[in-house]
Amino acid sequence: MEVGSDSDNVIVSTSSTAPEIRSRSRPSSPFPHPFNIPGQRPSYASFSSVSGLFPSVQAIDERVIKRLDLDLELLSDTITTDYSSGSGDCRSHSNQNEKLKTFLRIRPPSSHLNVDVNIPVFANQNQVLTIQDSQTVLAFPTTKNTITFPKLEGRRRKQIEFKFSKVLGPECGQSTVFEECVTPLIEKFLGRENCLIFSYGATNSGKTYTMQGHGTEYGIIPRTLDTIFNRINDRLYKLGNIKPHLYEAFLHLNPREVEALFEKRDRVVIDANVKQEFLESYCRLSSSSISDKSSNICVDFVGTGHNFEPSSSSSTMYSIWVSYAELYNERVYDLLDNSQLGSKKRRKELKLLQDRNGFVYIKDLAEFPVNSDEEAYKLFLAGRKNLQFAATQMNLHSSRSHSFFTIRVVSLGIGNGMVPYPKTVHRLTFCDLAGMERASQTENEGIRLKESGTINNSLTVLLKVIRLLREKQNGRGGTGAGMIETIPFRDSKLTHIFKSYLSSSTHVCMVVNVSPDPFVADSTLQVLQNSAIASNVIVFKPVDVNVRANLLPKKLKESEPEPPLFSTFTEKFSSSTSPSRFSTTESDDEYDYGLPTVVAPKTMAQKVANLERQVASLKEQLAASEFEKQKIREDMLKMIVDERILWNKRLQQRMLTEQNLNRRRLSLVKYETMLSPATRCGRCSPPTADMEDIDETFEGEEEVDEETKNQEPQDESDKENWYK
């Protein structure tokens, strides 16, 4: 197969042998070479402006050839390595984990497209890419003048082989790309696994075209929406009151909150003023099912053996939510937030936070429930209107930001009482990366140049992360969590967002977009080289959904709505103005969310078990302390009774002593009277007998004491009665 209309301009061919090198004359340019700036890596193919606007071909200089040598050396191991996904040297990890899937999409050459920017057709172009088979592409650097640089002649024959999960040539339309790259992933997503699809490539290579589409050439996002709603069909849960929260937790909204959310959603669409014809054409197409044309799996859940539940089961329903964010100049913005529309205020920048499980999420990102693919598509178009695009020399509609369109599905169990309860939440994220840019090609200045800088920077960090992941996985690092900690995900916001996907149980698919145009040959080679490295990166194998289900609390697994936890929190928060939390636990160590942390479903079982253990131990402590308390009370009572008896005894003794004293006083008085001179006469003798009486009386004190003693209570009950 050959692609290209001009006989001279054969760009892509499926022939297995290298095409002959055609000699050509170098087009002379009246302009100086403006792009080979000293100190910068020169482009293989350089440009100047023919008309002051469009690039044209110039000769390759020696520095380019040196750089080429270096690239070829770097690629030497790539040439012999099988990078196709699912085969090759996945080493010991292949059983447990899977490689990142890489699809190569080669767009038609610019000269054959009715593209926005009028890139000139070159009279003498060499072939850049050759599709060898469905997984292999052969690449070699473009030479514009092999006569001038005969050193390249030999190298031309040494083609560089790259393997991908699938190579999609320029003849592949949007539906084929969707079917090949996305359909298997949708199955996994509906089988309750997290998925990420991202497009990677140089500017103008067709990333946005692949992801979003152009006009009625719908890209993979609209097609996915259509497919998902077709598949879920009558199992859609439309109330929108169970909202995904943080990375994989839930919120339960009260009716007032749900109403406000739907109102806000409709306002976003109205404010965006999306052209009606876009919607109508999508509706027309989706009613005849755009994805049906490309895939024959668009029926209600059929048991494909991949964790799908049998279609007869009605115990699970699905609530679908979408969000749309962009990363522009290292700042995260909500594309579905129109609150600053019309005002001169800056868009609100959003923060990236991390939950207790290390999952990164965008705080305060608006997320809306959608009940049809049209509703979802409207939101997608509304968000797209807020995306940052600008014209560059390479692309009149060039993305200036990385965008993230996320579809989340909350699986809900429906109990006999028809009360839904959330089981799991999963996400499918489409990331349309901005293109790698060379200032020499885009001719950007000022703000555009700054954007290029941040785009290239974040892409470089992404590649660094991917390289490191590969190195560590292939080397001593292993695939454990410890290894993940050493990867510099935080070096850019892009990689920080990607951390959750690359380091956890997520299916990752990379669509590599390249252009066969010779004037971007060096960018193409670089993109291929980077993606070859990426394709050998292992992402953690998704946790089997059954294992995940086993992690849920026992009650949640049953078809009956769970209960205490859910209803308690519903009751507790439903009347409050803030959204109710499904479950709360201690707050995160690292970040302050300002909210009670919500337990991820997979850790909920452990949390419940922990709480139950705590409750049991507290009950034991309580019983022990009750016993202690009773004992102390008895001791105290005994002490009080003893004390009172003693006190009473002393009181009685005192009374008796006083009595005795009185008696003694009386006796003394009596004795004195007898001794007084008035009463004494010679006939009288001293009253001795009375004196003895007095002594006896003193001895009598003891007798009284004995009596008192005999009156004291002998046992405890007597004591109390006695005291009373």
Ligand X SMILES: Nc1ncnc2c1ncn2[C@@H]1O[C@H](COP(=O)(O)OP(=O)(O)OP(=O)(O)O)[C@@H](O)[C@H]1O
Binding to ligand X by CB under 6 A, coded x per residue (else -) over 329-368, reads ----------------------------------------
User: Is residue 59 a known part of a binding site?
Assistant: no
β-partners of residue 430 are 197, 405
What is the footprint of ligand X within residues 73-92 (CB under 6 A)? Answer: none
The least distance separating ligand X from the CB of residue 180, rounded to whole angstroms, comes to 14
CA distance 688 to 672: 13
What is the footprint of ligand X within residues 92-121 (CB under 6 A)? Answer: 107-108, 113, 115-116
Quickly count helices (H) and strands (E) in the chain: 22, 28
CA distance 323 to 408: 8
What phi and psi values does residue 509 have, to the nearest 5 degrees?
A: -130, 130
The least distance separating ligand X from the CB of residue 394, rounded to whole angstroms, comes to 6
Q: Are 220 and 210 in contact (CB under 8 A)?
A: yes
Nearer to ligand X, 42 or 201 (CB): 201
Sign of CA dihedral 329, 332, 338, 340: negative
Nearer to ligand X, 221 or 414 (CB): 221
User: Is residue 208 a known part of a binding site?
Assistant: yes
What is the distance in angstroms between the CA of the first residue and the CA of the last residue of the chain? 115
The least distance separating ligand X from the CB of residue 503, rounded to whole angstroms, comes to 26
Nearer to ligand X, 47 or 301 (CB): 47
CA distance 36 to 40: 7
Nearest to 230 by CA among 179, 186, 169: 186
Nearer to ligand X, 108 or 420 (CB): 108
Q: Are 82 and 509 in contact (CB under 8 A)?
A: no
The least distance separating ligand X from the CB of residue 13, rounded to whole angstroms, comes to 17
How many residues interact with ligand X (rule CB under 6 A)? 21
Q: Find the binder of ligand X among 26, 41, 67, 214 (CB under 6 A).
A: 214
User: Is residue 158 a known part of a binding site?
Assistant: no
Nearer to ligand X, 174 or 424 (CB): 174
What is the footprint of ligand X within residues 182-211 (CB under 6 A)? Answer: 201, 203-209
The least distance separating ligand X from the CB of residue 116, rounded to whole angstroms, comes to 5
Q: Are 454 and 599 in contact (CB under 8 A)?
A: no
Helices 446-474 and 521-535, axial angle in degrees (round to 10): 40
The least distance separating ligand X from the CB of residue 243, rounded to whole angstroms, comes to 32
The least distance separating ligand X from the CB of residue 291, rounded to whole angstroms, comes to 18
The least distance separating ligand X from the CB of residue 279, rounded to whole angstroms, comes to 20
Burial class (CB in 10 A: 0-12, 13-18, 19+), 524: buried
DSSP at 327: E
Q: Is 241 in the site for ligand X (CB under 6 A)?
A: no
Q: List the structure tokens of 393.
A: 């020399």
What is the footprint of ligand X within residues 379-408 (CB under 6 A)? Answer: 395, 397-399
What is the footprint of ligand X within residues 427-486 (CB under 6 A)? Answer: 434-435
The least distance separating ligand X from the CB of residue 278, rounded to whole angstroms, comes to 15
Nearer to ligand X, 116 or 280 (CB): 116
The least distance separating ligand X from the CB of residue 569, rounded to whole angstroms, comes to 44
Nearer to ligand X, 402 or 493 (CB): 402
Residue 319 three-state SS: strand
What phi and psi values does residue 525 have, to the nearest 5 degrees?
A: -60, -40
The least distance separating ligand X from the CB of residue 104, rounded to whole angstroms, comes to 12
Nearest to 437 by CA among 425, 454, 422: 454
Q: List the structure tokens of 576.
A: 């409050």
User: Is residue 203 a known part of a binding site?
Assistant: yes
Nearer to ligand X, 272 or 520 (CB): 520
Q: What is the 3-state secondary structure (H, E, C) of 516-573?
A: CCHHHHHHHHHHHHHHHHHHCCEECCCCCHHHHHHHCCHHHHCCCCCCHHHHHHHHHH
Q: Is 513 in the site for ligand X (CB under 6 A)?
A: yes
Nearer to ligand X, 54 or 671 (CB): 54
CA distance 653 to 647: 10
| Residue with nearest beta carbon to ligand X | 435
Binding to ligand X by CB under 6 A, coded x per residue (else -) over 614-653, reads ----------------------------------------
Q: List the structure tokens of 399.
A: 């993305």
Nearer to ligand X, 422 or 435 (CB): 435
What is the footprint of ligand X within residues 561-580 (CB under 6 A)? Answer: none
Nearest to 102 by CA among 424, 395, 514: 514
CA distance 721 to 459: 92
Nearer to ligand X, 85 or 203 (CB): 203
Q: Count the neighbouring beta carbons within 10 Å of the beta carbon of residue 24.
A: 18
What phi and psi values does residue 120 have, to the nearest 5 degrees?
A: -70, 155
User: Is residue 207 a known part of a binding site?
Assistant: yes
CA 275 to chain centre: 33
Name the site residues for ligand X (rule: CB under 6 A): 107-108, 113, 115-116, 201, 203-209, 214, 395, 397-399, 434-435, 513
Residues placed in the known binding site: 201-208
Residues placed in the known binding site for ATP: 201-208
